[in-house]
Structure 1
């Protein structure tokens, strides 16, 4: 079998984006949950659970974006042209959120609510426009020749906006189950109570997308409902149901890691379902990964660096989570 650097690069970018969604998803989720918690000590505890690791989580977004530029320059230029405004809004949200991380702990009692608001608004904006960007990609990006053929507001449509709301629900659930794992006492109980409706909300979003996309796009319907694909892909919805059951059941007991792992499973299955729907297109519905790929020599050259950097990032990420494992209190962590 010939070595295919295009497929390897597609797998690297898929993995990098998934790692970003998971790791930055739960710390964005903490900002989404801030309005449900009023006490300063509880908010301090929530932020302390992610303060030592949040900036490292965003490394994966950089790796995925730069990998797309290096390996699929056509996709980079076309996709970014279609979602410039959502990406700008997302980056503005990430900037406000990052500044709030640093300044909130140094602010006095009069100024702290301003940084709390910046943390909330930045988290909501970043999460929502990540979902809008994803929804815009899934609904299809028009291409003429090798250029973007759509308008600047193509993302302002029902499906991308609904996808934005779905990602907000997913991140909020990740944040709630992360705090269930990392906190104790009243804060943990509050997150358990919030996680239950958020799980149902995410399941409703998954069901909505699963119904919407086959009805709107015949190629997606053919991918999922033709025979034998119907049988081969049936484990995906069955596993979604199983993860939801495990999550809700674990929340009723003495929860620790299981709810967070089950929530990760729901996000992973949603991500896999999206990939199945659009594969092998990197610019749906017309441009495949091979049509958008850089020359093989360029891909092989950049792949050497990626295969060196990727294990280092994985090692650093794993080590940081190991060092900051365990429960977190209001007086522990980042100052």
Structure 2
């Protein structure tokens, strides 16, 4: 039986994108919540909580984007022209946030400016990630295997709403991260944000679960056809289960539980998108097999992935293990 290399690579890239979303999401969430913690020592503690891991989290973005170019070049050439603007703005936000992260510790006089730069970069990056996702979900027009839409096709009510929803979701990840990593007043305030954002995130997921199937007939058939209709009942129940776990964890002082359950919400949302898309990599236009590079290229690149991906996983797991537990407010990583 031949090995389905495009399917394997689609799984690898999907995993890389999911890893980026759930790992970089919480430190973007820290930036989104930054203005709501006005004291300098609170901001210092928030940044120190992600200092050891934030840079490594973005490795997965490089793997996902680079892998898409190498393995599915036709999809890359089709998707990028459709979402150039939000992708460029997202990358500028990530760059500005990274610069602000470093420069904030090097100055006193302009510290407040870098605080706002950190927030602004985080908000812009998160929002335009959501916009790019919304533009992809709503469909990309393709004619003769090339993008045939306009420059502003990405800017729609659906994509803007997706960007706002992702801001809420990342804020939830940031708040639950602070609950898990900090103590005292900052943790108590983070619990309040986590409680509110948990309900807002689930509400947003409900809205998009009802909105998305009507964007494309293929989505409607997928979600309400057999056997995938089973997931239309199971996934909402699991979402409500995650919400209950978050709320009970916040109320009962189980500080790790809300963060893990918040990650679960993102995994479920991502699974829902995957169910809608499959087998397309460019929704309703190109399947993963139509967009894939030749098998010889996929085989060659797979050898590198078999070595590289476990190394990244081991490094990531080790970093989180070393810096596990509550953050000591009297100590830092800078």
TM range (shorter): over 0.9
Alignment of 1:94-243 (within 5 A): 94-108=94-108, 110-243=109-242
CA distance in 1, matches of 2:225, 2:115: 50
Give the drift of 1:256: 1.1
Name the SS for the 1:282 alignment partner.
strand
CA distance in 1, matches of 2:181, 2:113: 26
Aligned counterpart, 1:72: 72
Name the SS for the 2:242 alignment partner.
helix
Per-residue CA deviations over 1:19-63 (Å, capped at 9, x if unaligned) read 000110000000000011000001100000001111100000000
Alignment of 1:214-293 (within 5 A): 214-293=213-292
Give the drift of 1:233: 4.5
Q: Does 1:318 align with 2:325?
A: no
Q: Which aligned runs of 4 or more in structure 1 are off by greater than 4 angstroms?
A: none
Give the drift of 1:215: 2.3
Per-residue CA deviations over 1:80-120 (Å, capped at 9, x if unaligned) read 11111101100110011000111111111x21001000000
Structure 2, unaligned runs of 5 or more: none
Decide whether aligned partners of structure 1 residues 325 and 139 sit closer, same or farther in structure 2, where only a CA change above 3 A counts.
same
More displaced, 59-68 or 218-227?
218-227
Q: Are the aligned partners of 1:180 and 1:255 in contact in 2 as well (CA < 8 Å)?
A: no
More displaced, 233-242 or 177-186?
233-242
CA distance in 2, matches of 1:12, 1:306: 9
Alignment of 1:292-331 (within 5 A): 292-331=291-330
CA distance in 2, matches of 1:236, 1:247: 17
CA distance in 2, matches of 1:170, 1:158: 18
Structure 1, unaligned runs of 5 or more: none
Aligned counterpart, 1:5: 5
Aligned length: 334
Name the SS for the 2:271 alignment partner.
helix
CA distance in 2, matches of 1:230, 1:241: 18
Give the drift of 1:234: 2.4
Name the SS for the 2:291 alignment partner.
coil
Give the drift of 1:146: 1.9
CA distance in 2, matches of 1:150, 1:275: 23
Q: Does 1:15 align with 2:18?
A: no
Give the drift of 1:224: 1.0
More displaced, 221-230 or 276-285?
221-230
